[in-house]
Structure 1
Amino acid sequence: MNSLRFLLASAMAAVVLSGCVSQPTRAPAVPVDRAEAERQDRARDAITDWNVTGRIAVSNGSQGGSGRIDWQQTGERYTVALSAPVTRQSWRLIGDASSARLEGVSGGPREGSDAEGLLLETTGWNIPVQALSDWVRGVGAGDGYGPAHIVYGEGNRPVRLEQAGWAIDYEQWQDGAAEPAMPTRLIATRGTAKVRLIVDQWSLDGTR
């Protein structure tokens, strides 16, 4: 646990996430084509295999840090790696809907039945890993998280998603002819818990 906290605290000083102090995105007053928005939602929801590389900042009250992230998702199976280049330390979370393993923490790997509980017990942070795998694609999370309320804006894309007590603000999307366009800057908050993600690259493959 100490090594993980040291990793993230050290990375906070080493990794600059531009816009970290910006205010949450608000829905712009632009016309929205509901049918087109739902079509884009279905296209993003259909992507089951993907990889994201970028930067992440996490805070939960007095604890927090930032670093590089590499998230590989294949169906329900995920591998999330976080590293701090300056300290050359890293940890890795591996799991699926029923189990999780956290590596790189003091005392050896930790295992649990769900990633959220494992991270909360080990680090004191509330990070909704399972739901975030959907929210990072700009769609509501699946079973167990309740209904998702989505506000759409420019390009018929979500600017805000609220679900299970969390608010996810989408600050930026891919430019150009990417289809479907994917989020590149988002921030998820609930109470004092905050997760900010800046995506440097999306790699997409697979549908369901």
Structure 2
Amino acid sequence: MKVPGFLLAGLAALSMAGCATRGPAVDSPALSDPEALAAAQAAQATRAAWLASRPDWSFAGRVAVNANGKGGSGRIDWQQTGTGYQVALSAPVTRQSWRLGGDLQTRAARLDGLEGGPREGADADRLLREATGWDIPVASMVHWARGVADPSASVDGVEYDTDGRLRTLTQQGWRVDYLDWFPAEGAQPVMPRRMEARRQGATVKVAVDQWQLAPQ
């Protein structure tokens, strides 16, 4: 399977982006006090409900992907409208890009920007694996990127930091570490600034520059 050439070029050309998404695993202590833990769980439930009431959102930032030693880095722009998504990845220096579009309900997806033309499939995760060799849980990432669990899968583990924010989330064999957060603004709760999703042989790192959350 051939990784798109612009991403390999972007790995070198966008070294600054790569550095921005690299970082140590979560090293802050996990919250253990029962009373504080209960308060953190309640706050996370309130936060998740607030986000669920705003199904239209977007973020812009940087991403670095590695799958069995192959990958790249670049700019990422994620636009979510209800169950539909458009994810664009670009390497500004090489002026190359691809776009993944799909719907969480139908699971159908289309990947544009590949050599040989666009590809379509009934499953976005499988489409990406077959076209690029990457292992990215697209449907779950819709939730993980916002710092909430995927409601369609069981939660295998969750930890909070001493500030009561989500620290790690484990689902479907993936461990998601939340390394940095944007502070709350008005009614808007804290939002992930930097996260890493890992499982054996695969890593997805995201550094968000800006969130846009549509009003209810």
- Note whether the superposition's TM-score is higher than 0.5: yes
Provide the secondary structure at the position in 1 that maps to 2:150.
coil
Equivalences for 1:1-208 in 2 at 5 Å? 2=2, 5-15=4-14, 16=16, 17-18=18-19, 20-30=21-31, 31-32=36-37, 33=39, 34-97=41-104, 98-143=107-152, 145-175=153-183, 177=185, 179-205=188-214, 207=216
Residues in 1 aligned to 2:157 and 2:30: alpha-carbon distance in whole angstroms: 17
Structure 1: stretches of 5+ with no match in the other structure: none
- Distance in structure 2 (CA, Å) of the matches to 1:155 and 1:45: 23
CA–CA distance in structure 1, aligned partners of residues 45 and 5 of structure 2 = 42
Question: Is residue 20–residue 207 contact of structure 2 (8 Å, CA) maintained in 1?
Answer: no
Runs of 4+ aligned residues of structure 1 deviating over 6 Å after TM superposition are none
* SS of equivalent to 1:44: helix
What is the SS of the residue equivalent to 2:62? Answer: strand
Answer whether contact 2:61 2:208 (CA < 8 A) is retained: yes
TM-score in terms of structure 1 length: 0.91
Q: Give the Cα separation in 2 of the matches to 1:176 and 1:142.
A: 23
Provide the secondary structure at the position in 1 that maps to 2:143.
Answer: helix
Deviation at 1:164?
0.4
| CA apart distance, 1:7 | 1.1
Most deviating of 12-21 and 72-81? 12-21
One-letter code aligned to 2:196: I
Alpha-carbon distance in structure 1 between the residues aligned to 2:96 and 2:69:
21
Structure 1 residues 25 and 47: CA distance shift in structure 2, 3 A? farther
- Give the aligned length: 205
Which residue identity does 2:25 align to in structure 1? P
Between the aligned residues of both structures, percent identity stands at 43
Give the letter aligned to residue 66 of structure 1. S
Whether the 8 Å contact between 2:21 and 2:62 is mirrored in structure 1 is no
